[in-house]
């Protein structure tokens, strides 16, 4: 594996306090040649974080510090590691304009980016952060009227994220496309969503985007598989979608975790952000 392209930092409110430099040193120690910092971009200003601790992303007033700390490390370690600085940007249906404003502002400073769905709006208009906890997931399922409408809303939102107009700095890689299965051992997939998943991959291919091959799910006690699972990685590979590995690490020691499981796949570097 050449690198880890989905990594968080001390700026994330729900992660560890490990400094960005600790992640860099871990990456070098593990023999990686590339590292993408993809901190959670701040949520749109007029959107209230639905997570019970309101800790889903980084603080808006830390963005400049995050970027400058990243750029300094980029220079300092340029002989040892290619460091990309970017964001994991939330796609929230109905907040496209605000999301584009963020990307238009910070896009010129980003080397890499991931577009992810974590937030879904229930029919009663309440938003839920679907990967927050098993309990929150249960509350979301109740608000949606069951697991099937919740899963359906997730795949609808993912498809909308691929098609969304978010300007010239829209991230070109779609994050953990089966995150809805994070608690699957407690809340099993109610029906087969292969059709939606296949369609999603075909849309990703059509747009020329890449796929976040995310190992974090392997270590979640109620998931125990990669996002997406092997069968879908195989289909993405068959379609020729760039497969870009990421640990989604929120601690320095998590860099490259689970990458052994991906050794059968050709891993690719992220596409340039601005294409």
Residues lying near Zn ion in the complex (CB under 5 A) are found at 116
Nearest alpha carbon to residue 176 among 30, 31, 6, 3: 6
Tokens coding 14: 């729900």
Least distance (Å) between residue 174 CB and Zn ion? 11
| Of 69 and 212, CB closest to Zn ion | 212
| Of 178 and 197, CB closest to Zn ion | 178
Close Cβ partners of 67 (under 8 Å, ≥ 6 residues apart): 85, 106, 109
Distance CA 246, CA 109 (A): 21
| Of 17 and 79, CB closest to Zn ion | 17
| Of 9 and 116, CB closest to Zn ion | 116
Nearest alpha carbon to residue 119 among 100, 148, 99: 99
| Of 13 and 77, CB closest to Zn ion | 13
Distance CA 133, CA 117 (A): 15
Least distance (Å) between residue 126 CB and Zn ion? 20
Orientation angle between helical segments 134-144 and 147-163, nearest 10 degrees: 90
Least distance (Å) between residue 79 CB and Zn ion? 30
Whether 113 contacts 167, CB under 8 Å: no
Least distance (Å) between residue 14 CB and Zn ion? 6
Least distance (Å) between residue 147 CB and Zn ion? 21
Least distance (Å) between residue 171 CB and Zn ion? 12
Whether 84 contacts 111, CB under 8 Å: yes
| Of 80 and 134, CB closest to Zn ion | 134
Widest pairwise Cα distance in the chain: 54
Position closest to Zn ion via CB: 116
| Of 26 and 57, CB closest to Zn ion | 57
Least distance (Å) between residue 229 CB and Zn ion? 17
């Amino acid at each position: 594996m050449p690198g880890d392209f989905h990594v968080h930092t001390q700026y994330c409110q729900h992660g560890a306090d490990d400094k960005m430099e600790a992640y860099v040193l871990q990456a070098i120690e593990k023999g990686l040649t590339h590292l993408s910092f993809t901190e959670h971009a701040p949520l749109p200003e007029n959107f209230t974080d639905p997570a019970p601790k309101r800790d889903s992303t980084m603080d808006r007033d830390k963005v400049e510090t995050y970027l400058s700390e990243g750029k300094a490390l980029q220079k300092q370690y340029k002989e040892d590691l290619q460091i990309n600085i970017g964001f994991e940007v939330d796609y929230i249906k109905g907040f496209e304009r605000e999301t584009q404003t963020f990307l238009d502002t910070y896009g010129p400073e980003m080397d890499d980016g991931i577009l992810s769905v974590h937030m879904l709006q229930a029919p009663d208009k309440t938003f839920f952060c679907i990967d927050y906890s098993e309990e929150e997931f249960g509350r979301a399922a109740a608000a949606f009227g069951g697991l099937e409408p919740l899963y359906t809303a997730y795949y609808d939102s993912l498809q909308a994220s691929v098609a969304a107009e978010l300007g010239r700095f829209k991230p070109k890689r779609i994050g953990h496309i089966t995150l809805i299965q994070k608690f699957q051992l407690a809340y099993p997939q109610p029906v087969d969503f292969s059709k939606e998943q296949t369609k999603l991959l075909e849309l990703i291919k059509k747009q020329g985007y890449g796929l976040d091959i995310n190992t974090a799910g392997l270590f979640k006690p109620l998931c125990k598989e990669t996002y997406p699972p092997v069968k879908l990685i195989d289909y993405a590979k068959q379609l020729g979608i760039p497969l870009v590995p990421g640990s989604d690490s929120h601690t320095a020691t998590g860099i490259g975790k689970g990458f052994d499981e991906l050794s059968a796949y050709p891993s690719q570097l992220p596409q340039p952000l601005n294409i």
